[in-house]
Chain A
Amino acid sequence: MPVSQHQGQEMVATPILAAREVNKQYGNTKVLDHLSMEVPRGSIYGLLGPNGAGKTTFIRIANQITAPDSGEMLFQGRRLQRNDIAQIGYLPEERGLYRKMKVGEQALYLARLKGLSKADAWRRISWWFDRFETGSWWNKKVEELSKGMQQKLQFIITVLHEPSLLILDEPFSGFDPVNAELLKSEIMRLRDNGATVMLSTHNMASVEEMCDHISLINKSKCILQGNVAQIRREYKSGEYEIGFTGDETALTEALNTHGCTVSNSGLPGKIKIHAPEKSGNQLLELAIACVKVQSFNEILPSMNDIFIRQVTQK
C-alpha cells in the first residue's frame, strides 16, 4: 500500500485535526477501520473515496455527531471536546433548512446554536448577506427561494461563526457552474484568511485544483494519503509531451529505437511519449538531436486516474 509520508512546510505546526486509529462499527459492519489522518492547519484537505467508503461517518465523528468505538480524535493537538464545535463549520452532504422559516430568522437561530451572541450573529449575517447580495431575502420563507439561493444561504450559515475548521461534504453537488465558481473562490478566500478546509468530493478536477492534501478511503480503510502534487509525481508512469518543429518521422524513429512508445497527440507538431525507463533529460537529448524542441512536459496522472486505479485494484 503506497502511503507517501509527506512532510510539507505547513506540517511544522500541530495539525488542526488529527485522527488516531479511529474505529467505528455498526452492528457487524465495519465502517472505519483503524483510520488515521492529520489535517494540516491552513490547508485544503480532500477526503476522497467511493460511495459508502466511510467518509460521511468520519465527518460525523469529526463533528461529534457520533462517537468512535475506539481511537482518538485530536483538535489542535488535544482531545476533541464538546465546545470545539463552535470552531467547526459543517456543511452536510444532504442539505436542508426549515422550509417555512424566514431566512433572516433561520440564519440567526442557527448562528446562535453555534454559540454566537445575538448581536454578533446579527452583525455577521448582515455582512455576509451584503457580500452575497442576499439582503432582500431576509423576510422570505426558505421555500420561496430557488435552489441556488438556498445553497448560498446554507453556505453562509456554515461559515457565519467564522470557524477555524470548515468541513464540507460534497460542497459542489447540485451547484450550477456560476455558483460553484463563487463557492470555490469563497473557500479559497477563507483558507487564505487562515481557515482550514476539509472537503469530501467526487469531483477530481476540483481536488487537483484546490486540495493540498488528500486521504483516499476505500472499504473503511485509508488506502492513500499525502500531498497531492507528491502523490501525482509518485504515480507518474513516464508520460511526456513534446512540442516541436521539424521532422516528425525522424523523431519517432529515434525514440522507438530507444524503447519508447510514441503516440500521436492529434495535433501537428506535438507527440506523446510513454517512456517509463527514461528520464526527462535523456528524452530531451534524443529529441534535440532530431528536431527543434518548443515545449517539453511531463504528464502527471490525473487524480481521477489514481482514484480509479487505487479503488479498483485488488
Chain B
Amino acid sequence: MAEIVEAPVGGEEATSAQTRLPFESADSLLVVRDLVVHFHTDFGVVKAVDGVSYSVNAGETLAIVGESGSGKSVNASAVLGLVPPPGKVHRGEIIFQGQDMLKLDDQRLREIRGNRIGMVFQDPLTSLNPVFSVGAQVSEAVQIHEGLARKDARERATELLSIVGIPRSRERFDDYPHQFSGGMRQRVMIAMAIAMKPALLIADEPTTALDVTVQAQILDLLGSLQQEFGMAMILITHDLGMVADQADTVAVMYAGSIVEYGTVDDIYYRPLMPYTLGLMASVARMDQARSGRLRPIRGQPPSLIFRPPGCPFHPRCDYAREVCWQEQPELLEYDQQHLAACHFAGNLPEPIRKDEP
C-alpha cells in the first residue's frame, strides 16, 4: 500500500500535458496542473497556492477543504482568473473544457466566467449591489451573457428566481438586497450563477454566513440544481460535515499545498496524512455520545510567508521525524486514486505526542 505507484504531480516536469492526474479522464471538465499563486507584499512573498494539481469531472463535486490561510479560496479565484492584486499566477495550467484559462485574454475569460463557470461566494450581502433591485441584478447577468432584450431578460430573471426557490418571485423582483434575508440573498446569487446553466459551479464557503436550517436549504438547492443541469461543482469549505454530505472527491489543503487527495470515503475512512487524521479526530461529533476529550492538532496553522521548511505540517505533527523538516514530501499516489503528501503515508511511525497546552 505504501508503495509508490507513480509520481504524477509535483516538480517542474509535472506541468507537461502528458502526465495524468489520478482523477483525470477524457471527460474531465477542469484540470489544474501545478498551479502557483504568489502575493508579493512588502513583508515577503505570500505563497498562497504552491504547486496545486487537481481535476474535476463533469457532474461531480470536488471539495477543497482547509482552514483559514490554507489557500483554498485563492485557488478558486485563480480558476476564475480573478486573483486579486498583488497576487499573481506564476506557473501552472488551468485547462477548462480543453482551453488553458491562463492563456485567454480578458474578453474570452469574461465570456467563460459567468457563462460556463458560475460562482457563489460566502457573503451574499457584499456580493450584491445595494443600490439596484435584486431583479435588475439578475436580469443584468442574463442580458450580458444571453443578449436578451430587456423585457425577455426580466421574464427570464423572474423564472430563475423562482427556480432557486424565491417565493412570489414576480412581486419580489423589484425588492432591494436589504429587504432579503441572508438565505434569500444567497439564493439570488445562485440564480445569477446558474443563469447560463454553467458546466462548473464554484461555491466558496456558500453557507458559512447562514444559519443551520438555511444552510440545509441552500445545500439542498445546490444539490438539486447540480442534478438537474449536470453541473460539476468545486465546493470550498472548512466544514467537514458539508464535505461528507456533498463531495465525491476531496482535496485537503494545508499551507498552500494539497496534502491529501482522494475519494470522500478514502479521505474520511482511510486517511493517510497526519493532518487529515488530526482534523477528523479534532472535530466534535454530534452523532456520537461523548467519548472523552477531543484530540486537537496542537499549535496554529502556519504563515504562508514563513512556511516551515520541509513538510509544512511538521511543527504540528505527532509523527514528525527528522526527514520531515528536511524534505518536503511530494503528493504521491499511495493507493488507487488516493494521494498524500507525507513521508510516512500509510506507514506512520509511533506518534511522539507532546503534552498539549
Do the two chains belong together in a single complex?
Answer: no
